[in-house]
Structure 1
Amino acid sequence: MSASPTFDPWNPAFVAYPYDAYAALRDEPVVWFEPTRQWLIPRHADVNALLRDRRLGRTYLHVASHEEMGRPPDPDHLAPFWHVVRNGMLDLEPPDHTRLRRLVSSAFTPRRVLALKPTVERLATDLAEAFVAKGGGDLIAEVAEPLPVTVIAELLGVPVEDRPLLRPWSADICGMYELNPSREAADAAVRACVEFSDYLRGLARTRKAQPRDDLITALGQVEGLTEDELIGTCVLLLNAGHEATVNVTGNGWWSLFRNPDQLALLRADPTLLDTAVEELMRYDTPLQMFERWVLEDITVHGVDIPRGSEVALLFGSANHDPSVFTDPGRLDLARRDNPHISFGAGIHYCLGAPLARIELVASFGALLTAAPNLRPVREPEWKPGYIIRGLRDLTVEA
């Protein structure tokens, strides 16, 4: 089996709208994609099951070496990147993942997240009102990005004067999560990891000497959490905590503009905001693919996938699977039965999901209130990335 030629993650037209290609892919439950040497998994039930299957992992280094898995060793120039990433829980498996998630959860508590809600709502309102006062502009740069970055910075305890550093670091690090990243992207990610690590190490040590009511202080006080794990956790919280939120906001507004009946419905009934946010995450998924390594031989719908293989779980396709979602190509902000997997599933389910939901409801709500006539000026361009998929800009008039 080979992939339909319409599945082309480097093609701007595919990135702009991959859902027709996914419909063709779902005719087969497992598809081999030679350019990345991955098994594509396009159906919701299989994606959901494999996310929970302990025979797969985000890493294999807890059970085998690169050589034993038939993989080349890490290039030396990527060592700083992997050191940071492998000290965060996303790229760990039990027992290390279990230990680290438990330790981080003791500081990143529901109470701490809920306490941020008034701050999030105030920031969202301020951003929306300032945006409307100037008549609009780039909604991505002026509303979608500042809110989650500011919230994460507030949560961590990053001083105001240092916050402009965060977004460029995050963007460069996340470049390594795309398919077959270039050497230029790899070098940028390594530089960002070194600079961000050095910055966080200094800030963590300052907080140890002068504690404050912030997450870096709290993490520094967690017994058993190493300094490298603290840094890996903070980097992960920034990257995961704002990249997806930015793209849900941008993609979501563009979806609303292209479905004016649904936008009118939401403007008329703000009580739909909670279900609307879930539907916008499903309808135009911010994280299109999540990759896992096969730790033991598995068989999926009669297809044998050997140990050492990599599977690509297609979140965007799963979220449009008609066997799960009625009329999946239709934006339905009142959709109640909505088991989307935009936050993942299993042990790697997004730890920051409650905070993301608070931010998204606040952001959409603030703009709907402040700008009841918000409208796009022109069709936006998509960034080239496929896995972390979002708009370059979204120019609107308020």
Structure 2
Amino acid sequence: MEHVWGTAAIWMALALVASLFSIRLGISVALVEIAVGVFGGNVLHLEVSEWINALAGIGAVVLTFLAGAEIDPESLRRHLKPSLAIGIAGFVFPFLGAAAFARFVAGWAPDSAWIAGIALSTTSVAVVYAVMVETGLNQTELGKLILAACFINDLGTVLALGLIFAGFDRWLVVFAAVTALVLWPLPRLTRWVIQTWGGRVSEPEVKFLLLVLFALGWLATRAGSEAVLPSYLIGLVVAGVFQESRALMLRLRTIAFGALTPFYFIKAGLFVSIPAIISRAALIGAFLLVKMVAKLVGVWPLTRAFAMERRSGTYTTLLMSTGLTFGTISALFGLTNGLIDQSQYTVLVTAVIGSAVVPTLIAQTWFLPETAPAGAREPGQASVSTLPAMESSSLSEGED
């Protein structure tokens, strides 16, 4: 028992250090937690116990749920046509491109190549959302469109991870049927739970949502799929409820980021090998380039087709090229299930981290759209107070 508490203290100390560095540097805490995990694995030689695995798994499920719940249903409906087109292209092109590169250029086995395609097909809702808030673009139609497209992109990633490696047997049928039956009445049931028992110290509404997440997560893993698949869908269907009850969202976010996700992200960094990064730096760079080029080929022409001006289209393409949470979840799934080895895992996670940083820096430095509020712009850049004719008609084609 002493060993358990000592291990818990070390991991929470690393999580605290990551939080402080994140605040100081002004970057995503997930990135810093992964970096701290790399330090813990390569310098401190930390190991992962069964209970840490459990906490990390719960953290991934709750984080995936929160990502789905962040989507504004009204924005998704209003921008349905462009967000569907951009989101699907943002998934398909890097998924196939990275998988083909891994299989036929890097010489990876088929299952390893599929994991590479899935891990590099993602976009990062966390990174994009932070950028949107920082620049004020989350209040514009452009920002809402980008966030909606990110959701569609990541939904493709989660579905691919859940279905490609699922065991197609009676359990998969049971999982699909039960999930459909649960999701349909879930928004009304969640509202009823909040109205009937909400606001109590015992937090029954939080426990209710965790029950749904854990039950469907168990069914997903029993079917040979991944627990994050139903989590993302649950988040989406209750997103409207969370728009009405932001306090509930904040409580769940506190639980997740305070006590659960640090174990997930530190664990993700723990398996990254510094010697492998050094020896395979060229391959890491190649995977990052493949992802960015594939996103450019798939997304940028669509931004022009939907009448975005050139600067906004490039900015959208770059933010769609980011990746973090689902990329690391996919890579860790591959490592845990023996689909990739530690060296391949290191290559993928390092490329994913690079995709969270490089496209964001390029976008913010050179392509911040004219739609950004004046206070968010760099000195010397023109300030524009109106949304360019991005052709509100194009952006609103999903409206009834």
TM-score tier after normalising by the smaller chain length: under 0.3
Question: What's the TM-score, normalizing by structure 1?
Answer: 0.27
Question: What's the TM-score, normalizing by structure 2?
Answer: 0.27
Q: Which has the higher strand share?
A: 1
Q: Which has the higher helix share?
A: 2
